[in-house]
């Protein structure tokens, strides 16, 4: 997707970025529609999120590896109640940890979009979609390939949830630590 296309995944008022010396290359690549991850040029350890020194060899140099923008849902949660008034029209939304392909286990925290929340699952294959929210270009992820019919729109979905809540039939939709390998190499970045 061309990052210049306006989408409605996040209200622009909540998308103010404040890149620093370590994260600016990530956001600059995103503005160009490219997904790049930081790594140490000395030992090739992935440095997500980027910081002043490598967690493995303590080197201070940093380079950036472009990755294809595909991956798998590692874990996720469905948010059904807006924590901020600007998000009232966005619920329900899916917040997920995405394990990126060809990225040595690197993960990003983002949203899974363009899918009915009940259809999201751990191991779901996803691809990046670029969300222009004001001046920010933010990587979101949508399912890869043919997903069949998409779910109802937010209004229909919310009315369905209200009916479910009135019958106390809510399923737990938060999945934590399903595929974790542990160790210092498992780093996440908020996107």
**Rounded-to-integer distance, Cα 50 and Cα 191, Å:** 13
Strands 188-190 and 107-112, bridge-based pairing: parallel
Residue ranges of the domains in the chain?
68-178+185-190
Instruction: Report pLDDT digits (tens) over 107-139.
Output: 999 999 999 999 999 999 999 999 988 888 999
pLDDT range class, residue 99, cuts 50, 70, 90: very high
Identify the H or E element spanning 43: none
The pTM for the full model equals 0.73
Q: Which pLDDT does position 6 carry in this prediction?
A: 46
Q: Tell me how far apart the alpha carbons of residues 104 and 117 are, in angstroms, rounded to a whole number.
A: 28
Q: pLDDT band for 17, please (50, 70, 90 cuts).
A: confident
Q: How far apart are the first and last CA of the chain?
A: 17
Query: Cα(138)–Cα(33) distance, rounded to whole angstroms?
Result: 9
- Gap between the Cα atoms of 149 and 134, Å rounded: 30
**Per-residue pLDDT at 190:** 41
Q: Give the bridge partners for 94, in sequence order.
A: 78, 112
Query: How many residues are present in the chain?
Result: 191
pLDDT of residue 169: 33
Q: Rounded to whole angstroms, how far apart are CA atoms 185 and 111?
A: 22
Return the ∠ at Cα 164 (arms to 152 and 9), rounded to 5°: 35
Nearest-angstrom CA–CA distance, 59 and 67: 22
Percent of the chain with pLDDT over 70: 72
């Amino acid at each position: 997707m061309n990052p210049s296309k306006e989408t409605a995944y996040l209200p622009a008022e909540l998308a103010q970025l404040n890149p620093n010396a370590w994260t600016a290359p990530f956001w600059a690549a995103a503005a160009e529609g490219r997904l790049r991850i930081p790594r140490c040029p000395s030992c090739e350890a992935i440095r997500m999120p980027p910081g002043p020194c490598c967690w493995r060899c303590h080197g201070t140099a940093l380079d950036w590896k472009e990755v294809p923008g595909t991956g798998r849902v590692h874990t996720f949660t469905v948010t059904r109640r807006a924590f901020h008034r600007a998000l009232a029209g966005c619920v329900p939304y899916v917040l997920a940890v995405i394990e990126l392909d060809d990225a040595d286990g690197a993960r990003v925290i983002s949203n899974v979009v363009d899918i009915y929340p009940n259809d999201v699952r751990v191991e779901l294959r996803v691809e990046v979609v670029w969300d222009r929210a004001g001046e920010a270009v933010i990587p979101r992820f949508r399912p890869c390939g043919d997903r069949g019919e998409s779910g109802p729109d937010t209004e229909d979905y919310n009315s369905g949830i209200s009916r479910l809540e009135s019958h106390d039939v809510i399923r737990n939709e938060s999945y934590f630590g399903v595929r974790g390998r542990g160790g210092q190499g498992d780093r996440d970045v908020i996107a």
